[in-house]
Structure 1
């Protein structure tokens, strides 16, 4: 297939490494938020250059196959991010080690933090072959998860899945940004995000179906191999072969990568995740390992900032994190809003099925189906936003609406108990889903209208990092709250139960520890577990409340 040497001609995107020497100096000022249309770093008005007459070179049925293949890889990430949401008890029943329950969900997002270095690499290396390599990595992780003999092996598989899946997700966004025009790009990007949103919610339903079948939960991961086999021809034959920096040798491309910052960033992220997840369950809060984790997190954060600002061997344009974008209050608010929405989404997806499994004795499939009201709210508001925001031209009201709905929904969720009706819980989750959908699909499109075309790769990485951190930090914090509160309440109710046994009881109503209890004690435990799940949503009250306050300060100017 013919290699596309200059993707600017296809979508007017200008990868960092492909600039000539006159354009090498990266903007050190924050992007201009108000005023006329964005300009690139040569001073040209990019929107004027790329008028309605510009078009894709890849069209017709071949474009359909390429685009649908990209969507299928996004579906990988979406499904496997949440497919374990209501099969956690089944996994724990097979592999044991209940204290590592939060890692079932968190591990894939920890691997997904590589979205920042991967996103930067897409601007240097051959996009097609890098993309296909990450698809293969995702499938390898799926095999490891499906065949895992221990919880540690399962966690390793989830991390590998996260690396591959986040690469597919950012790769799909990069491909579309490189091969579409400015006018059509928001439409195709909305398809990526809509696919991710839909897959994230139906994942638990699919996982539940496998868990209750004779195939067992392991086929929730093996099924990815068959999906990949179906989509492989479209990926291999139809994706354009784009090399953003063809003039550089492979060694020269490797030297452009900020390897030191990558190691520091990923190590610090791992320490934060482990500190949140292990605190109070695996390690006491005042224990040496827990203190060491938080100390290392702080030290690595400071070192990362220093390396990003003062790195002596890496030019500013090649540094890992686009720190200069943080000079804009507008971009910071957009980034935090996506952080809050992503955290709200995954926390609701993981703990709503668990609530129904405890209070209604649901199986994995039924518990997954209970998420359909959340899905309905999210899809409705997402479509509404996609249809009306470009027409009305303003993005700020959608952020205020979305964060307000999330705040109201999470506030109502902290009032539930074992006797709360299903209709009420459905209504609360509709509000949470509507809040996420009101602006979740808007973030990537809005930020691209705020920065120059030369900053497109940085903008994608900037937002994708916020999304991943929202999933990791909020879900880790929620898992820590759930297990710590549940253990405390259970031991207060049943003093004869040890802390380790109390942790085992959080695994679900099918766990041997729970089934060994008398009927009266089972009822008491369910009441305490419900209260613990209720407290999880206090985390969302905090994140969405801060998001609502911040969104009020977004720009009021017309964007479209």
Structure 2
């Protein structure tokens, strides 16, 4: 009887604990919002010390039906605008440099945007931990819109660069913010489908950017490449402002309490240490081989400065432990660092492919800039269809890791086949190769983002997602720089071999669509083949990056995320005292 009373008392005490918030060190979070397995609870225990967690399900009011799509609609629209903004300026740059006589600033129109976005990614993740998902997302979107407006009304090249940097600051909290909100709207087993839809439609922005930018520049003015964000953004912003259905996955402390201790809550010292490291590394990659030689004092100094700052930040981050900008116990989890690396390699291969395939079409295949974008639709549409279909398949099967593994295989195969493209390649070949790579990307792009959320308490989800986004952007910058070096060196080598009488410097200056004006008709076939072979070399890098996704995909874990499987495990793990998890 005494034992029974003690058991009842213990049960009553634990039930009361479930109703309380589970404290992170100096943070406020609620219990894991889904039926938790032993593995998940142990994972949470690494991040939430001295907390009592039970495997009973914690009831949450998830969104569905119209309420869900009223939130998803503007998120997809904003995600589309963000990716559109990364490429729309590419076809407008010639007119912009002519307008401002600013050819020397051409690299900064893209670099300022990427630098600002990359630097703020980790801090943006921290912001979503402490402030409302809805108003944090809207705030970042407002910054993005202000940056777009400044670009549109720019009266000088410097003003345009500042506007691009402000827009980049806004985007830092939009991609990871959209995914954070989705994770708060639906349970884990439904997230792959919604993440796939969001990312699939957003990728259309990468392809349509040059098309829309070219049309707006040709028929109106380059300023509409930035103004276009304002009316579309106003619609998305209004839907979000007046929506009452944007949830938070965990309770947030009062805003004034956060502001009183802002430097500690957001780890602003860690941010100040990490930001210069990112900026110096990205500047070295932007300038190396273009503005300065790779062995110049400037580039070497930037790399050394980046390394020094990174070491200082690493020591600080280790000392801060779970209060750090990137919590130590989170990044030590296999799912988190494996998922971040998969995102990094996958997004790097995507950026390179999207950048260099139009160069192949415009040079070797003589396509116009507009048609080169149209020719990429097989890749994007295949990716969109598979992203949605595989998201649903994960709901049915319950395991995401097999799809990530298959994704790496299909991408590596597709990109590898694209490295065989030549001026004589048929339409069936470049369409088929694109479809294979699109299938691979569609199968895998949302899987690491689901994996890093699995087993994490809700308060850690924004940080894990922001780490993935940061890795994708950083790796993208690194490998885009590497691809530019590969392409330029290959082009120089092949032109000398295949068109020895052609003026090499004139060809390089004229670019992929203008070289025909500076060479003779006899030299055209050799230059076309040189361009095709140089792009092929870049696609070798794409295939290698896709293949690197394969080994790290095995680190994403093999937990069944189906609702019934989780509930079954939760029931099997329900206590007697021996089965309880004590943290």
Task: Tell me which moved more, 530-539 or 397-406.
Answer: 530-539
Q: Is the 8 A contact 2:336 2:464 kept in 1?
A: no
Aligned mates of 2:193, 2:166 — CA distance in 1: 31
Shift of 1:489: 4.4
- Is 1:283 aligned to 2:289, yes or no? no
SS in structure 1 at match of 2:293? coil
Q: Is the 8 A contact 2:147 2:164 kept in 1?
A: yes
Q: Is the 8 A contact 1:16 1:124 kept in 2?
A: no
Map Cα deviations across residues 152-183 of structure 1 (whole Å, 9 max, x no partner).
65554433322212312222233333455556
1:411 maps to what in 2?
A: 416
- Is 1:332 aligned to 2:337, yes or no? yes
Aligned mates of 1:169, 1:364 — CA distance in 2: 28
Q: Is the 8 A contact 1:394 1:558 kept in 2?
A: yes
Shift of 1:107: 4.6
Compared with structure 1, are the counterparts of its residues 181 and 333 closer, same or farther at alpha carbon in structure 2 (3 Å cutoff)?
A: closer
Task: Tell me which moved more, 458-467 or 372-381.
Answer: 458-467
- The 5 A counterparts of 1:125-140 are 125-140=131-146
Aligned mates of 1:304, 1:248 — CA distance in 2: 26
1:297 maps to what in 2?
A: 306
Aligned mates of 2:177, 2:273 — CA distance in 1: 23
Compared with structure 1, are the counterparts of its residues 280 and 154 closer, same or farther at alpha carbon in structure 2 (3 Å cutoff)?
A: same
- Is 1:393 aligned to 2:401, yes or no? no
2:462 maps to what in 1?
A: 457
Task: Tell me which moved more, 178-187 or 222-231.
Answer: 178-187
1:380 maps to what in 2?
A: 385
Structure 2 residue ranges without an equivalent (≥5): 1-17, 563-583
1:200 equivalent among 190, 206, 209: 206
Aligned residues: 530
Map Cα deviations across residues 301-342 of structure 1 (whole Å, 9 max, x no partner).
2222112112xxxx4333112333332333322221111111
Aligned mates of 2:557, 2:258 — CA distance in 1: 43
Aligned mates of 1:463, 1:282 — CA distance in 2: 30
Q: TM-score, normalised by structure 2?
A: 0.79
Compared with structure 1, are the counterparts of its residues 419 and 17 closer, same or farther at alpha carbon in structure 2 (3 Å cutoff)?
A: farther
Compared with structure 1, are the counterparts of its residues 61 and 378 closer, same or farther at alpha carbon in structure 2 (3 Å cutoff)?
A: closer
Q: Is the 8 A contact 1:115 1:167 kept in 2?
A: yes
CA RMSD of aligned residues (A): 3.6
Aligned mates of 1:478, 1:96 — CA distance in 2: 28
Q: Is the 8 A contact 1:277 1:479 kept in 2?
A: no
Aligned mates of 1:97, 1:416 — CA distance in 2: 36
- Is 1:509 aligned to 2:518, yes or no? no
Q: TM-score, normalised by structure 1?
A: 0.82
2:253 maps to what in 1?
A: 245
1:527 maps to what in 2?
A: 529
- Is 1:116 aligned to 2:122, yes or no? yes
Aligned mates of 2:368, 2:211 — CA distance in 1: 11
Shift of 1:252: 2.2
Task: Tell me which moved more, 247-256 or 141-150.
Answer: 141-150
Aligned mates of 1:204, 1:382 — CA distance in 2: 23
Aligned mates of 1:487, 1:91 — CA distance in 2: 28
2:474 maps to what in 1?
A: 469
1:267 maps to what in 2?
A: 276
Compared with structure 1, are the counterparts of its residues 269 and 33 closer, same or farther at alpha carbon in structure 2 (3 Å cutoff)?
A: farther
- The 5 A counterparts of 1:133-282 are 133-147=139-153, 154-181=160-187, 185=191, 187-211=193-217, 213-238=218-243, 244-246=252-254, 248=257, 250-282=259-291
Q: Is the 8 A contact 2:258 2:265 kept in 1?
A: no
Shift of 1:63: 5.5
Shift of 1:373: 0.7
Shift of 1:50: 2.6
Q: Is the 8 A contact 1:120 1:458 kept in 2?
A: yes
SS in structure 2 at match of 1:167? coil
Shift of 1:536: 1.7
Compared with structure 1, are the counterparts of its residues 439 and 288 closer, same or farther at alpha carbon in structure 2 (3 Å cutoff)?
A: same
Q: Is the 8 A contact 1:264 1:300 kept in 2?
A: yes
SS in structure 2 at match of 1:263? helix
Task: Tell me which moved more, 484-493 or 263-272.
Answer: 484-493
Q: Is the 8 A contact 1:273 1:476 kept in 2?
A: no
Aligned mates of 2:273, 2:98 — CA distance in 1: 36
Q: Is the 8 A contact 1:13 1:177 kept in 2?
A: no
Shift of 1:543: 1.5
Shift of 1:403: 0.9
1:544 maps to what in 2?
A: 546
Point out the structure with max Rg over C-alpha.
2
Aligned mates of 1:122, 1:553 — CA distance in 2: 26
Shift of 1:238: 1.7
